[in-house]
Each structure stands twice: as structure tokens, then as C-alpha cells.
Structure 1
Amino acid sequence: MNALPATADVLVAGAGPAGLALTASLRAQGVDAVLVDRLAEGQNTSRAAVVHARTLEVLRELKVTDELVARGVKAPRFTVRERDRVLLTVDFDDLPTEFPYALLVPQNVTEELLLGRLEALGGAVLRPHELTALRQDADGVTGVLGDGHEIRARYAVGTDGMHSRVREELGIPFEGDTYAESFILADVRLDWASANPEVMLFFSREGVTVVAPLPGGRHRIVATVADAPEHPTVADVQRLLDTRGPRRDPARVTDLVWSSRFRVHHRLAARYREGRVFLAGDAAHVHSPAGGQGMNTGVQDAVDLAHRLTAVLRDGASADTLDAYETTRRPIAEEVVSFTDRMTRVATVGNPALRNLRNTFLRTLDWLPPVHRAMAMRISELSTAE
């Protein structure tokens, strides 16, 4: 077991993808960063399953991208469908990147590789230690853990998720709302002749359903429902595919690997900084899973902030470097929250006349190459690259 230190350059709370990426990036640049997490062990579930092109570019500096790609499934396109009819196709193969695809890889694999890199750099996740209080002064911040242990740091970062204790300690409002629908999340094995490596979004009167390939012959199913069961079953997932999925070549669920339910929020922290303490990842923004952009935006937050903190701590850069973190990253999150909210609301239109209008509009857009390009750049997050 790693001993708790008394001091650090940067104290990070929350060992999800954003916290792991931030801490590893800091340590790779010679900054003494300490990462604590309240859980006794990582969650080890697939959860977020899409890594987009911009995130793969950003993670190259941490030397995990090649292994991520090797362990994932490359999806060359997203298609929006209503049953058997394709309404809109978003191709990634012409993107200006080495990674012209969406990579489907379970979140636990992403976290495993980031943790491995952190450990190779001499770091670790110190568990189970929750950051419960913060005290700031002109020279630094003191983090108080649940057992009373104190860590004195120059800066601190909350990457501790939607219910961030750090954000609450800072008194930063988390502005937004919660969607009325709940979501089913399941990893399954399918008997499906038409299975191919693309992400399919099925629009229907009942809600939106995402079907995406995963490594090992599995598929990820995400679907909005009025009231999701706590532990969705094979029958629950099969019912969704029967009522919303393809008719000509129906998919049959043969095995349920893992399932869960959740509610989706669209919220954004009013600010990303309070003195010497910062927010990143889900502590700063949460939104609909439409487009699979949550984890990606959080990891990009983390690496951006790591570079800025390094510039100040190691290279003597001015405080303006840290101010630019919020002015750069918060507008990106604001646009992601807005974009995914629009996607979710369009996908879940209930009125038949409006659904027909939506479908006609999407089929019209499908004839316009500039629309394809803009959507691919937006979903891949290459449009936000500096």
C-alpha cells in the first residue's frame, strides 16, 4: 500500500479517465502529482465505450494510443436510422487525422492503460481516500482526507465526477437539468447477420437506441426508456431491439454480459476555477451520451490543464496561463452540452408529424457533403482542436 504524502505540487481527487490522464500527464512532465480516490478499487465496467479521434491524438503523448487502438474496434461511420431506413450517414474516413474512425473500447480498458502509464511514471492511485475538505491561502491549498490526513499542495483538481465533493466544497453551481427519461445500458452478444463495425442510432417514437460494436464480439446497447429497470435483462434488451431495431434482419440477444441503468443530466459548472482549485471531466460538465463525447471531452480537459499547470510550476509561466484553461475549455463543454442536448431532443420526438418532418430533414441533409464533413468533425471533436 502506498503511503499518503504530506505534500505535492498538485493534488488530484477522482481516478476516472480524466483524473488518470491528468495525473499521468503531470508526472510525465516532471510535476509531483498525487491522485486519491474514494473507492477501494476501480469500477471495472465498460461504461463509456467510444474514444474519438481527437482524444486518440491527445493521448499519444501518454503512449497509450497504440494499445488502445489495438484493443478496440474501429467504427468508420455513424448512421442514423428509423428501423430499416437510413436517414443520415456520418463517415469518418476523410477526417484530417491519423485516426479516421470512432474507436469502440470499454472504459475499463481505457482506465487500465492510463493507470498502467501512471504507474510506469512512478505514480499510483491512493485508495480509498476521499477528499472531504479544502483550505486555500495565497501560497497553496490544503486537502483534508476522510481520515483527517492533510496534503499540502500548490494546486488541486477535482476530477471526482458528477457528484463532485470538490465542486461542492468550492460552492460552484452546477447549472442545468435532468432528462425525464431514464437510460438502459447493456453489453450483449447478438445473433445478427447484418452486424458490422459501425455505430447505429435508431430513432423511434419510444425513444433513441444506440447499437455499437465492442471488442470480443459484443455490442453496446444504450436506449432511452420511460422507467428503466435497475438491472435490465436479456428480455428487456430484446424488447428494445424488436420494437426499435431493424425489421428485415432482426438482432437476437444470446447473452447479457453486463447491464445497468442511469439518468442523464445536462449540466455545466458555472466556473472551472476557484483560486488554486480547478475542475475537470464530469465534475465540470455532464451531458447526454448521444455522440459518445463525455469521457472524451473530460480527458481533453485533463491534458490541457496538465500542460498549463506544468508551464506555471516548472517553467515559471504567468498566472494568465491558468486563467486560459477555463476560457478555452468551458466554451467547448458548453457547445458539447448544447449539441448533445439537441441530438437527444431530436431523437426522442414523440409527435408523428414532427417525426416525419425530422426524418425528411435528415434525409435531405444526407445529400449534402458539407453536412457530413461538419458532423464528422463535430462528433470526432477535431473541430475543437487548437
Structure 2
Amino acid sequence: MKTQTEVLIVGAGPTGLALSIALHQAGVDHILIDRLSEGQNTSRAGVIHAQTLDSLAALGVSDELVARGLKVNNFTVRDRDKALLRLRFDALPSGHPYLLMLPQNITEQVLASRITTLGGVIHRRVTATCAEQDSAGARVTVNGPDGEQVISARYVVGADGMNSVVRQATGIGFDGGTYEDSFVLADVRLNWPLGQHEVSLFFSPAGLVVVAPLPGGSYRVVATMDNAPEHLSKSDVQAVMDSRGPQASNATDVLWSSRFRLHHRLANSYRCGRLILMGDAAHVHSPAGGQGMNTGLVDAVVLGETLAGVVGRNRPETMLDVYESLRRPAAARVLGLAGRLTDMATTLRRAPFIAPSRC
């Protein structure tokens, strides 16, 4: 691995991969590193929204993502078997008027394959330990297969998650907090009376549960749960369905599960000199609305265009401020919406439940 470049990207999750594609296409010299030995092998983020697919079309990956995913047009809020509110996506003013259900590991595979096609490399098992900068450039100390090295770059992009080493080096505040409630996320096999044509949000006194279809016939389940086990069993999923879902649902297998606490945080700034933030390094929030990975992917597309102008076409460095002016307000809006949805769900769980009536 070389030790000098125009742009160093720290983190090869979806946002780092997308930025690397954008820079390859623009002919900008860069290095992409990640501490993991391979990409994610679990599904985690499971939906790509219309605007995100429209943005990713410029990277040459939207068609492949669509081919690998499951198109869903309907979102329904339910009280057990009764539909309270229906939303449709097939009239969106978009080239992709639907929700695309696709596990994150497949999304990462598609992005990584595009990098390979463009002649790029993901340097894995390389961990950034500290970063510094001055007027001449930035330097990041890394540990990897070749031991400790220092990589010098004109700009360093932190795509390294909520505990970002790059953000810590900037001293930028990451204001917010942690929700009291715990959540579980699982991919399961279900005998599901609602089929694979809608994403369903159920409100009940027992708590919230979201059920969304995935390619291959499985379903993504996200639910509030007190004292959640580290790994959900089939009986755990069935108990959630029995207390919150439709009467005829039946869990048959758990493919993967995780428990987590929700954070809601937003970086006070997206740039400090030559150090730039995007994705979870800049904003984290509830999965309500399914916008986390999507917000980061659009960050990457916008930042890629901006860096291509500054590095590749000698535009003024002040252009980098345009990235923050566009993307931080967008993240703030997503953070606010996800927070309101999460507050509503957790408040309903603690209060006497009165189902909304249909108009």
C-alpha cells in the first residue's frame, strides 16, 4: 500500500465504498482503508430509498442494486389485522418509484464489485489510530499487515462510524444522546398473511414492530423489546408477533439477529480543515424511517462531486463548504423525523393505548 495520496478514505462501509467509486470515476487518486478483514456478512440496513437510487445512478450501480433487490410499493400502519393508514410509492417523481428492499451485505458487495471493475482496491485489516493536519496536508497513522505506517493525504475523509477516529481528531462536537429503550433487529422466515408487497408498521400496547419483506422470501423485523436477548430465538419472534402483529403470523426460523440501543447525534460541523466527515461519523439516528445508510450514501455522492471539483479541477477549497451546507441540514431533518417516530413508538408503549381511527 502506498503512503501518499490526494484523498484517504477511512472506512469501507457503504458510504466509503460509494465515495471511492465517485473518486475513481473522476480520476482522483485516493486510498480506501478499513479495519475489517472483509465486508459485512449480515444484512443490517435493509432498504434503499428512491432518492438514493437516483443519486447512485451516477456511480453506475443502481441497475445492479435493483436487479438484486425486491421492489415494494406500499407502506401500511396497522393495529393488528386492521389497516389504519396506507402510503404508496409508485407515484413518486423518481426514476425508481418504490422502496428497494436489499440487505446491506448485498449492497456492499455491489459497491465493492464496482470498485474492482474500475481498477480499485480496498485495503483491509488496516486500522487508523490517529490523525493530524497542518497547512501542508493531513497524516493518518495506521496499523495493518505491513505494520505501523503514516499515510499522507491532501484530504482525509472519516467514513469510520459513530466512534470515528477522524472526527475525534477534529475536536468537532457530536451532540445528542441515547434512547432509553432497547431494540432488536432480525431477519426471519415467516408464514406471513400480508405477503411480500408491503412494509408494515404495527402499533400496540406491547410496543412497536416493523415487518418488511426481503429478497429470497425472508422478512426484516425491527421491534422495541425490554431486556432483549443477545440473539433472538424463534419463540422470541413469535412472542412479538403474538402480542403485536396479525393473528395468522407464524415464525419458522431466525436467520440473523442483533440487539442495540439507539443513538441520536449530529456533528456540529462536517469539516475541520483537511479532515472531512460523512455517514455515521457525522450523524447517527434511529432506524425509524430506514434513512441511516441512505443519508450516508447521498453524503458520499455529494462529497465525491465536491472533491472531484477541488482536487481534480482545481476549484477553490471553499467549495468544500458547499458539501456541509447541503448535507448537514438534510441529516438534521432526518434526525428530527426519526426521533419523532421513535418517541411516538416508545411513548405509546408506556401509555394507555388508544388505536387511531381511520378517517
Tell me the TM-score range normalised by the shorter chain.
Answer: over 0.9
Q: Does 1:129 pair with 2:126?
A: yes
| Equivalent-residue separation in structure 2 for 1:290 and 1:353 (angstroms) | 20
1:202-217 superposed matches below 5 A: 202-217=202-217
Q: 1:21 aligns with which of 13, 18, 22?
A: 18
Deviation at 1:93, TM superposition (A): 1.1
**Matched position secondary structure for 1:108:** helix
Q: 1:265 aligns with which of 250, 257, 263?
A: 263
**Gaps (5+ residues) in structure 2?**
none
| Equivalent-residue separation in structure 1 for 2:176 and 2:193 (angstroms) | 41
Letter in 1 for 2:223: A
Q: How many residues align?
A: 356
Deviation at 1:349, TM superposition (A): 2.4
1:373-384 superposed matches below 5 A: none
| Equivalent-residue separation in structure 2 for 1:352 and 1:9 (angstroms) | 52
Q: 1:135 to 1:76 in 2, by over 3 A?
A: same
Asked whether the 8 Å contact 2:61–2:114 carries over to 1, the reply is: yes
The residue that corresponds to 1:296 in the other structure is 294
The residue that corresponds to 1:197 in the other structure is 197
The residue that corresponds to 1:118 in the other structure is 115
Deviation at 1:194, TM superposition (A): 2.8
| Equivalent-residue separation in structure 2 for 1:241 and 1:44 (angstroms) | 26
**Matched position secondary structure for 1:162:** coil
Q: Note the aligned Cα RMSD (angstroms).
A: 1.4
The residue that corresponds to 2:284 in the other structure is 286
Cα deviation digits, residues 57-78 of structure 1 (max 9, x gap)? 1111121111111111111021
Identity of aligned residues (%): 52
The residue that corresponds to 2:319 in the other structure is 321
Asked whether the 8 Å contact 1:205–1:349 carries over to 2, the reply is: no
Deviation at 1:276, TM superposition (A): 0.5
Asked whether the 8 Å contact 2:174–2:267 carries over to 1, the reply is: yes
| Equivalent-residue separation in structure 1 for 2:101 and 2:53 (angstroms) | 12
The residue that corresponds to 2:162 in the other structure is 162
The residue that corresponds to 1:305 in the other structure is 303
Q: Does 1:222 pair with 2:222?
A: yes
Cα deviation digits, residues 215-252 of structure 1 (max 9, x gap)? 001001011112211011111111101100012xx211
Deviation at 1:355, TM superposition (A): 4.2
TM-score normalised by L of structure 2:
0.96
Q: 2:89 aligns with which of 88, 92, 106?
A: 92
Q: Does 1:10 pair with 2:12?
A: no
1:4-83 superposed matches below 5 A: 4-83=1-80
| Equivalent-residue separation in structure 1 for 2:299 and 2:277 (angstroms) | 9
**Matched position secondary structure for 1:150:** strand
**Matched position secondary structure for 1:253:** strand
Cα deviation digits, residues 262-303 of structure 1 (max 9, x gap)? 111111111111110101001110111111000000000011
| Equivalent-residue separation in structure 1 for 2:286 and 2:250 (angstroms) | 27
Q: 1:67 to 1:193 in 2, by over 3 A?
A: same
The residue that corresponds to 1:370 in the other structure is none
**Matched position secondary structure for 2:40:** coil
Cα deviation digits, residues 76-131 of structure 1 (max 9, x gap)? 02111111222221111111011111000000010000001111112121111111
**Matched position secondary structure for 1:163:** coil
| Equivalent-residue separation in structure 2 for 1:190 and 1:354 (angstroms) | 29
**Matched position secondary structure for 1:263:** strand
Deviation at 1:351, TM superposition (A): 6.9
Q: 1:355 to 1:193 in 2, by over 3 A?
A: closer
Moved over 6 A (4+): 351-354
Asked whether the 8 Å contact 1:206–1:348 carries over to 2, the reply is: no
| Equivalent-residue separation in structure 2 for 1:276 and 1:15 (angstroms) | 19
| Equivalent-residue separation in structure 1 for 2:325 and 2:110 (angstroms) | 30
Letter in 2 for 1:359: P
**Gaps (5+ residues) in structure 1?**
365-386
Letter in 1 for 2:61: V
Asked whether the 8 Å contact 2:191–2:251 carries over to 1, the reply is: yes
Asked whether the 8 Å contact 1:73–1:197 carries over to 2, the reply is: no
| Equivalent-residue separation in structure 1 for 2:269 and 2:154 (angstroms) | 20
Q: 1:225 to 1:6 in 2, by over 3 A?
A: same
Letter in 2 for 1:17: P
Asked whether the 8 Å contact 2:130–2:169 carries over to 1, the reply is: yes
TM-score normalised by L of structure 1:
0.89
Deviation at 1:344, TM superposition (A): 1.1
**Matched position secondary structure for 2:180:** strand
Deviation at 1:352, TM superposition (A): 8.2
Deviation at 1:347, TM superposition (A): 2.1
The residue that corresponds to 1:232 in the other structure is 232
The residue that corresponds to 2:176 in the other structure is 176
**Matched position secondary structure for 1:308:** helix
